Structure 1
Amino acid sequence: MLRRLILAAVSGIALWAAFPTINWWWLAPLGVAGLALATRGTRARGGVLTGFLTGLTFFVPGLAWSGTYVGHVPWFALAITESLYLAAMGGLLAWLQGPPAAARVRPLIVAVVWVVQEWLRGTVPFGGFPWLQLAWSQADSPLLPITRYAGSTGLTFAVALLGGLLAAVVHDRRTPGMALAAAGAAVALGLAPLALSVPLDGRPMQVMGIQGNVPTAGLEFNAQRRAVLDNHVRLTEKVAAEIADGQRRQPDLVVWPENSSDIDPLRNADAATEIVRAVNAIKAPTIIGAVLQQPSPKLSNASLLYLPEQGLTQTYVKRHPVPFAEYIPYRSFFRFFSTQVDLVRADFAAGDQVGLFQVPTARGTVRVTPIICFEVAYDDLVRSGVDAGAQLIAVQTNNATFGYSAESAQQLAISRVRAVEFGRSVIHVSTVGISALITPDGTAHQSTSLFTAAVLDGTVPLRTEQTPADRLGMAPIWVAVTGTVVAAFLRLRRRRADLPGIVEDRPRTADTQSALDKLDRKT
């Protein structure tokens, strides 16, 4: 058992290292392979233990940014909660791969169960937390083109299947034929994406992102919200002067990040004046990230579209506020565990409308879907904007509360995968970085440094197609769920056949029934 636990712990570390900022993406299938081997040949309760240990060594370092300024309790609470999903998956893998005496690595089962685990983790409770999914580790991987055809779910499936095949090679090494077949399948899966194309053509659009920076990293940036607004106003006006001098091209669209105006411009005339002045100076439609003091007593995390000489014209309110960050569910209950919940003084309300801004340009109207911060990790939120007709995705985020951690790089990787999945360019803009312009092949251009003022300025292609992945929608998840259910059904059917010498239709003597009862308890 000790060897299993060591393998499980190493597997979790490998999974963590596959993600930014280490970004050794090739470790992701190796981490899956390690857990597949650690759960093979053990009982379900052993699988639960190994899965939980893998989760801890994966999520504790992988989510360390969540405790940057709020302490260890929220960080470990989140990491342990996420680890419970891997514990359940480990137990299920141990059971589905067969009883200890006849267990085998089953790559397809490993892949479908992993997909189901990630789906559940990204759904419940409180809407789930789909961070650190296998797909998000593959932004620099040759497997990335799979995303265009099978979505982020399909990419996760491919990584997990590759891991399962590698585990099968190790397990079947004494059976050369089976090991060779698994190795051949792994090589074919690794090479197949080279034959997949990711188109990049489309009408060019000149876009600009303003990373204004904040005076102070951490939670206290909110106490200096006027300074944050001023930073974005000043940088925008500076760029406007450079455009007037011919140093830069006139943009068709400008995007400010989330929280660029935490002073509600609908209720504060001074803030509104500053924003309007900057928009008029740059002479381009501008999307502003703002906090609105509505609906009272709650707040709204919003994207606001301002047009030159017209002011505010369209509004989008974030549809998935982050639990324990933007609102506290069951506040009195969770206060019992940590008074940190009261750092969120007012809860944010959830919007109920898909964001789709109609942006006027010299070459016609461009449809842009605003995505606020963690919303980029939720399949349905991004898909709904694209399906509504968006030609461009604008991801507005604020990473000031996570310091110099890996969170910014992890989030940018998600946006890169989304660009390929939906065949859209993405303008990913943060208050403090990392910001970038992302083309539909997932390439990040002009990536900025953390905690610096910077400007994204470039041309991206606009596309209107519906990718195969978008047409599939939730289908890959339902296929994985169905596959898991079928595997469980077949495993139940085989339970009695797993005991040598017992035939189900033979009359059961007392000794036979006793043997079957013992088998049930073991498996």
Structure 2
Amino acid sequence: MVGRLLLAVAAGLALTAAFEPIAVPYLVPLAVAAFVLSVRGLTFWRSGAVALVFGVAFYFTHIYWMKQSIGTDAWIALSAAEALFYGAVGLTVPVVRRLPGWPVWLAAIWTTSEGIRATWPFSGMPWGRLSFAMIDTPVAPAVAYVGMTGLSFLLALTGMLLAAAAETWLPPVAGGDDAGGAGGGARRRTRSVALGGVLAILALLLVPAVAPFQAHESGSAVVAAVQGNIPDPANDILAHYRQVTRNHVDATVRLARQGGPRPDFVLWPENSTAVDPFTDVETNAGIRRAVAAIGVPVVVGGLVDDGPDHVLNQGIVWDPVTGPGDRYTKHHPVAYGEYIPLRRYWDPNFGALRAIGRDMESGTRTSPLRVAGIDVADAICFDVAYDDVMRDQVAEGAELLTVQTSNASFIFTDQVEQQFAITRLRAIESGRWLVVAAVNGITGVVAPDGTVVASADPRTQAVIVERVGLSTDLTPATRLGPWPSRVLTGLSVLVLAVGAIAYRRRQEDPGPARVPDAPAAPETPPDRSEAPVARR
């Protein structure tokens, strides 16, 4: 059992190494294969326990940035909760392992688990999906065809098939739920099918690299992204919120005075105004001064009051003529970071939670913003990691993607690079140009193939002005919408039901009882005719 636990830990750490900052994405299928081998042949509860160890090794290291930025208590609580999902996947392994085609069913369960934990409990936590590690690899273009969910499924299936092939070289285990105990011919057939499946998946994933999806561009626009920066220590907007707003106002005014091509609109980041820009007189005046100077709409990131107990995190289109207009409200506030779940039952007043005096409400808008005559799909910070936000807006006609983010709380951690990798994958998935404005994180412009066309150094004040393409073509991934997730979820439920029935029958009926051998008849001495003849 110790060996299995060590293998589970190694698999979890390998999966962490697939993501930023180490970023060795080819470890993903190997880590999944090692996970499967670590629970091979185990009973229900033991399989869950070993899988839980895998989840602890992976998630506690994957989001170590939360300990560095938010606090140890939040890091432990969230990592432990997410590790439980991997433990739950482990519980399903003995249930489905004896079903024909088990790698397919187990890959579906893995991907379904990713989808569930991305939305539940409360706001969920999508960090750590297998597909999020694939930027800058030959398989990244496939996300335009199969989406994040489809890519995770194919990566998980590759790992499962590698495990099935590896088992054919390993000795059998108690329980006989793998190819280890099969005959030589059966082992060779299993190995051939598994490795053939791996090659087929790789071929499927590499086709888009040769013939990537290319959306027809119906026009172009010039967009300016402003990174205002924060005074040292650079990770506390609230301590310098007025200076942060002044930085963005001043940068926009300087842009207006520089001459050159005037942008069609300007993008400010999340929390560029950390107080209500409608009620705070100084903030309101600063925004109006910047918008009047540049003479085009500015998409302002502001915290807007929603009564005494709630606040909204919004992207607000501020027009030089008509003033504030269209708004996008962040869809997925972070539990225990931006709101306290079930506050009516408990109101924590300790640690970092003490600073959350008001709960952030969730937005529901699915239509794009209208900015300078352009339909823009907006997302705020963690929103970019959720499938529904940009997909729904693109499906309703968005021509361009924007991300307003702060990253200030995470500026000295690896979260910034992890989020930017996800952001680049969203550009590929949607087939759209994407513009990111960060307070002091990574501000940049991303092409539809995920290439970073321009970027600003973190913790600096900068303005990026770039011409971007506009398109209304839909990628296959956008057309599929939520259906890959729905199909895999339904398949997982069905397989678990069938597997549970078979598993229970095996437990109740381990096999035919062994019939004891009949007692041997007593030997009778041979008669005279049978007696050996002694020869002299």
For the criterion TM > 0.5, the same-fold answer is: yes
1:16 aligns with 2:28: no
Larger radius of gyration: 2
Q: Distance in 1 between matches of 2:71 and 2:502?
A: 49
2:202 to 187, 190, 210: 190
Decide whether the 8 Å contact of 2:95 with 2:500 is kept in 1.
no
User: Over aligned residues, Cα RMSD in angstroms?
Assistant: 2.5
Residue identity opposite 1:220 in structure 2? D
Q: Distance in 2 between matches of 1:165 and 1:229?
A: 53
Q: Indicate the residue corresponding to 2:521 in structure 1.
A: none
Q: Indicate the residue corresponding to 1:421 in structure 2.
A: 429
Q: How many residues align?
A: 495
SS at match of 1:150: helix
Q: Distance in 1 between matches of 2:314 and 2:428?
A: 26
- Inter-CA distance 309–335: structure 2 relative to 1 (3 Å threshold): closer
Deviations 1:454-509 (A, max 9, x none): 22221222110222112212211122122223322332454446999947xxxx99
The answer to which of 336-345 and 298-307 deviates more is 336-345
Decide whether the 8 Å contact of 1:105 with 1:164 is kept in 2.
no
Q: Distance in 1 between matches of 2:78 and 2:506?
A: 41
1:330 aligns with 2:326: no
Q: Indicate the residue corresponding to 2:386 in structure 1.
A: 378
Shift of 1:114: 0.8
Deviations 1:287-308 (A, max 9, x none): 1101112333322111111123
Residue identity opposite 1:416 in structure 2? R
Shift of 1:33: 0.9
- Inter-CA distance 413–209: structure 2 relative to 1 (3 Å threshold): same
2:474 to 466, 476, 479: 466
Q: Distance in 1 between matches of 2:485 and 2:368?
A: 26
SS at match of 2:436: strand
Deviations 1:302-333 (A, max 9, x none): 11111234322222222322211111113476
Residue identity opposite 2:255 in structure 1? V
Q: Indicate the residue corresponding to 1:209 in structure 2.
A: 225
Structure 1 residue ranges, 4+ long, deviating more than 6 angstroms after superposition: 497-501, 508-511
Q: Indicate the residue corresponding to 1:340 in structure 2.
A: 352
Q: Distance in 1 between matches of 2:92 and 2:304?
A: 45
Shift of 1:334: 5.7
Q: Distance in 2 between matches of 1:337 and 1:13?
A: 34
Deviations 1:226-262 (A, max 9, x none): 10011111222222222x1x3xx32122111000011
- Inter-CA distance 313–43: structure 2 relative to 1 (3 Å threshold): same
Q: Indicate the residue corresponding to 2:214 in structure 1.
A: 199
Q: Indicate the residue corresponding to 1:394 in structure 2.
A: 402
Give the unaligned 5+ runs of structure 1.
512-523
Q: Indicate the residue corresponding to 1:34 in structure 2.
A: 34
Q: Indicate the residue corresponding to 1:299 in structure 2.
A: 311
Q: Indicate the residue corresponding to 2:532 in structure 1.
A: none
Q: Indicate the residue corresponding to 2:525 in structure 1.
A: none
Residue identity opposite 1:465 in structure 2? D
Q: Indicate the residue corresponding to 2:248 in structure 1.
A: 232
Decide whether the 8 Å contact of 2:227 with 2:462 is kept in 1.
yes
Q: State TM-score, norm by structure 1.
A: 0.88
Q: Indicate the residue corresponding to 1:181 in structure 2.
A: 193
Q: Distance in 1 between matches of 2:474 and 2:234?
A: 40
Q: Distance in 2 between matches of 1:310 and 1:460?
A: 25
Q: Indicate the residue corresponding to 1:160 in structure 2.
A: 156
Shift of 1:379: 1.6
Decide whether the 8 Å contact of 1:43 with 1:95 is kept in 2.
no
The answer to which of 317-326 and 25-34 deviates more is 317-326
Q: Distance in 1 between matches of 2:413 and 2:314?
A: 25
Deviations 1:149-200 (A, max 9, x none): 2211001101101111221221123734432332232123223233222215
Decide whether the 8 Å contact of 1:306 with 1:313 is kept in 2.
yes
- Inter-CA distance 336–319: structure 2 relative to 1 (3 Å threshold): closer
Q: State TM-score, norm by structure 2.
A: 0.86
Q: Indicate the residue corresponding to 1:359 in structure 2.
A: 371
Deviations 1:372-409 (A, max 9, x none): 11111222222221222211111101110113111111
Decide whether the 8 Å contact of 2:333 with 2:362 is kept in 1.
yes
Deviations 1:15-39 (A, max 9, x none): 1111112111111111111111112
- Inter-CA distance 28–217: structure 2 relative to 1 (3 Å threshold): farther
1:475 aligns with 2:487: no
